[in-house]
Structure 1
Amino acid sequence: MVRQFAITARVFRCSTIIAFRCGGDWLVCAAMRSVHTSPWKAPLMLVLATAFWALSFPTMKAIGQMQQRIIPESNSWFSASLCMTYRFGVAGLVMLIWCAPTIRRLTMSEVWEGIGLAAFAAGGLVFQMDGLAYTSASTSAFLTQCYCLIIPIWVAVRERRRPSPMVVLSCFLVVVGVGVLSRIDLREFKVGRGELETLIASVIFTAQILWLQRPCFARNNVRHFTLIMFVMIAVFCLPVALVTARRVSDMLSAYSTAGTAVSLGILVVFSTLGGYLLMNRWQPLVSATQAGLIYCVEPVFASAAALFMPGWFSLLTGIDYPNERIGASLLVGGGLITIANMLIQVQGAGKSSS
């Protein structure tokens, strides 16, 4: 008993020392990090989360093409909201089964954290989806990554200090990298309804990242608040699906084929359960600035997935969805984003070990 108490005290003392040494944007994440955890583990887990999220882009596009055959007269709002309802509803059911033994210990703090994450996720996706109807996909992908700039500005205002040169350099490389990856033409760029709504979505996604970083949620059970998050996103999206449905029967027939069912399964297992559980578990162990830059790797993985997944869906379902080809934009843009993340992670590893 005495030995166990001594070990616990040593761990607490080391964590406290790390927290006071790091300061600023690294304070909360360093205090929460175990002395036995590699400083690279959390960033790598978040990179894996972005890879899982990236699978959703070709998967949802394939679902859209399949549903055009099943329900030709359906609109984009119905398809998107119904997909969100099923995706997060099924994931919520899986989480409910997983959390059954401990659900009685669910706290109000976990409920509040889950509702907040759900509200920000649903709100951001609504603005992003509507914005896509008024701007190009490449412009949307570019503007969505603006949270990598918003977060350092927020941290600088909150901490009353300037971002470090490494953070500024990393943000610059990410913006240029995403611009190259998205093939943005500044001569044709304009700020209209689509661009404005996408920027609003980026601000909301920033709030989601910062909400997960709040110190008051540090002791919450990841499975519990993830369960609440999934259920509430489904609850928020269901009314939109009901209002935009031409017939109630369309909500069942939309996923009545083997192809749509398999595609939905990919979204549930990888992009929802895998991606969000990794995010909710590991993001609090890095700074908000680190997290924002890591999530900018998502377009790189999405471009990589588009090299082979469309052909796989075409073979499976018979839709006409050709693979994209690897090009200079993927190599250059992806390289810049990767370099930016390597720089910021090296800085983070150095601070957490100092």
Structure 2
Amino acid sequence: MAAAPVTLPRMKLGSQGMEVSALGLGCMGMSAYYGPPKPEPDMIALIHHAVAAGVTLLDTSDVYGPHTNELLLGKALQGGVREKVQLATKFGIRLDADGSREIRGDPAYVRASCEGSLKRLGVDCIDLYYQHRIDTRVPIEITVGELKKLVEEGKIKYIGLSEASASTIRRAHAVHPITAVQIEWSLWSRDVEAEIIPTCRELGIGIVAYSPLGRGFLSSGPNLVSTLSDQDFRKDLPRFQPENLKKNALIFEKVNAMAVRKGCTPSQLALAWVHHQGTDVCPIPGTTKIENFNNNVAALSVKLMPEDMAELESYASEEVQGDRYHDFLNTWNDSETPPLSSWKAE
């Protein structure tokens, strides 16, 4: 007799009716930023494996590649897979041929980006469409106003924001309900807890936690850096520099010791911590290996008591050395946009 398919728990994401698996799959590393692109057949097999395990939320962006990750998902969605998943993609970061970045949120760009993603993904409608980074030259009301039109036209179902400040989220939500805010949230990235998480909860907005394993650090510890290829952008991040890695390694050692006591891996413990933040939180760890995906699913079985959570947080409350990103990369800290009254349409 064939084994019964695994069914991951479902959760409501936001207040507009979207329902997803309690664990999503971040697809970026399959195509970009974390070293060379991985073999396409292997990545399609991994996506199909994840869907068979009950994952419904697949996360990508037009900047991953750029474009190659969306094309990969477009191939993986064929053969009846599309009907089983909610597809999330993003717009807002434009890469020039020389590698320079521009953040754009003007209406023409929003619309053109959506049309491009629909074509690459081979779909008629994007389930969840995020503004990947906030264009600080364009009032957020203008950007979300164009997204609202795309909802009305049936090209997207739900609107999301990524790396947006609390005030930006409020202004956006006043134009059209925001279904999800995607933010980096993990044991060693907790700056969102002061304002962003409470704002999302007040407004009924779902929380999608990217890099819940600290970009792999909470899985492998400082040894991770020696395994990264020269093309892996993590090598350049402040937290992974030698002067910071030594201090951050102490945090990992404590997490690892607790994982041994709990009978799980450090990555499962770190992911379980995110799951225990609430039923409105969907982590989307990325992976390129089926074995790692299976380990991530098993994190849902790790039960943490309040005292376990407090102990874990005491480790990570020790000052993490190094910022999440370099200063020149946009985050929610610099996502304020001008007032709507300042906008003059071209």
Relative to total residues, which structure has the larger strand share, 1 or 2? Answer: 2
Q: Answer yes or no: same fold by TM over 0.5.
A: no
Pairwise TM-score range, normalised by the shorter structure? under 0.3
**Normalised by the size of structure 2, how large is the TM-score?**
0.27
Indicate the structure whose relative CO is greater, using CA pairs within 8 Å and at least 6 residues apart: 1
Relative to total residues, which structure has the larger helix share, 1 or 2? Answer: 1
Larger radius of gyration: 1
